[in-house]
Amino acid sequence: MNIITDWLRRQFSNPQLVVLILILAAVVLTLYLAGDSLAPVLAATVIAYLLQGLVNRLENIGLPHFVAVHLVFVTFVATVSLAVFGLMPLLVGQLTQLVQQIPSMMSRARDLLLRLPNEYPTVFTEQQISDFIAAIRNEILGVGQTLLSYSVSSLVTLVTVVVYFILVPLMVYFMIKDKQRIVDWFSGFLPEDRHLSSTVWHEVDVQIANYVRGKFWEIIIVASFAYTTFSLLDLQYALLLAALTGVSVLIPYIGAALVTVPVALVALFQWGLTPDFYWAVAAYLIIQALDGNLLAPLLFSEAVDLHPVAIIVAILFFGGLWGFWGVFFAIPLATVIQAILRVWPRAGGPEPEPLAAADGDQ
């Protein structure tokens, strides 16, 4: 007990460590109590953080701040508009076609499953297959009821989307335009002696900037390569499956395994157990293998120095806490924890040197 008491006394005798803990506690408490209400603000903050790196680069080549901000903001609005009004309708159209074909797919799957007891009588029984089919039917009914409940609240969802489309770009604009004023205002509430907190922020800033930049290009490259491959194979819903393949890289290991299911099912119902089916599945697995063993190491190098076990634990832990968004931000959150742990053992000793700022350093 004395060891723990001595350790706590030694750690909390460092005022900078106390400041770091108070800042982290305030951020966590704010997100926990008002995360839903502040969702537009958080979304705008993340987007502004990403766009600030582009503003900095344009300023470094000699453009005035006013010109750089407006050029980046107009490009951002144009890109989002193109994605929403150009790409999104195509994805929604393919998703609608896929949903409409689910009954026929289930009928074919039922026929295939009912053949198993005749072909493999020692492995499957008719009762097992009937129970399995009934369980699948119940799951589909549950999903249908969930979708119906969402459709009932579609008006509320529409209002929320409209609010996001108005408020988020507006806040993004002012955050990148008046970034220094906002930072100075916020810093005024913090103690002047906060070198330890600044060190943690510099390391997190470098790591997350590299991670986000690398993930953006990884999604674009993987999705483009997957779409080209699926189109050459004449696989149905190529755009939708390519988009899923690209998004799967956001969740290392787990995302690739999950997206294997829709790719394999679409190929199975399109071609059956034919060579075309095996070619499609093999192509998808090759894309994921090239991404994990070649593309990702080239893009990230040592940008996010996390062990694969740590990444999986972070995905499971934060996913269990905050669902989809916990999974989405698992690696950045794990990076924050790693940065804190790196400086924590040195908190009572010499002050650590901050890392060099990345291109996207704010």
pLDDT tens digits for range 191-243: 776 677 777 777 777 777 777 777 888 889 999 999 999 999 999 889 999 99
Is 28 domain-assigned?
A: no
Residue 284: both structure tokens together: 């998808």
Tens digit of each residue's pLDDT (9 = 90 or more) over 54-68? 888 898 898 898 899
Show which of 193, 219, 248 is a domain's final residue.
193
Tell whether 309 and 334 lie within a shared domain: yes
Is 78 domain-assigned?
A: yes
Residue 286 has a pLDDT of 93
Measured in residues, the chain has a length of 362
**Has residue 356 got a pLDDT over 50?**
no
CA 291, distance to chain mean position in Å, is 16
Tell whether 61 and 159 lie within a shared domain: yes
Residue 294 has a pLDDT of 79
Residues 6+ apart with CB under 8 A from 181: none
Is 14 domain-assigned?
A: no
Residue 156 has a pLDDT of 55
What is the average per-residue pLDDT within 105-133? 77
Tell whether 42 and 187 lie within a shared domain: yes
- Vertex 102: Cα angle to 97 and 105 (nearest 5): 120
Q: Evaluate if pTM is beyond 0.75.
A: no
Residue pair 41/171 in contact (Cβ under 8 Å)? The answer is yes
Residue 284 has a pLDDT of 93
Overall number of domains in the chain: 2
Residue 148 has a pLDDT of 56
The secondary element (H helix, E strand) that includes residue 264 is helix 254-271
**Has residue 359 got a pLDDT over 50?**
no
More confident residue, 10 or 100: 100
Is 6 domain-assigned?
A: no
Tell whether 138 and 263 lie within a shared domain: no
Please give the residue range of the domain that contains residue 254: 194-362
Q: Calculate the dihedral angle through the C-alpha atoms of 64, 67, 68, 73, rounding to the nearest 10 degrees.
A: 160
Tens digit of each residue's pLDDT (9 = 90 or more) over 22-42? 777 887 787 777 766 777 887
Residue 334 has a pLDDT of 80
What is the average per-residue pLDDT within 340-347? 64
Residue 302: both structure tokens together: 């040592």
Is 27 domain-assigned?
A: no
Averaged pLDDT score across all residues of the chain? 77
The Cα–Cα gap between 240 and 194 comes to 48
Tell whether 198 and 247 lie within a shared domain: yes
Residue 105: both structure tokens together: 């797919």
Tell whether 89 and 204 lie within a shared domain: no
Residue 242 has a pLDDT of 92
Show which of 135, 161, 193 is a domain's final residue.
193
Residue 35 has a pLDDT of 65
Show which of 161, 193, 225 is a domain's final residue.
193
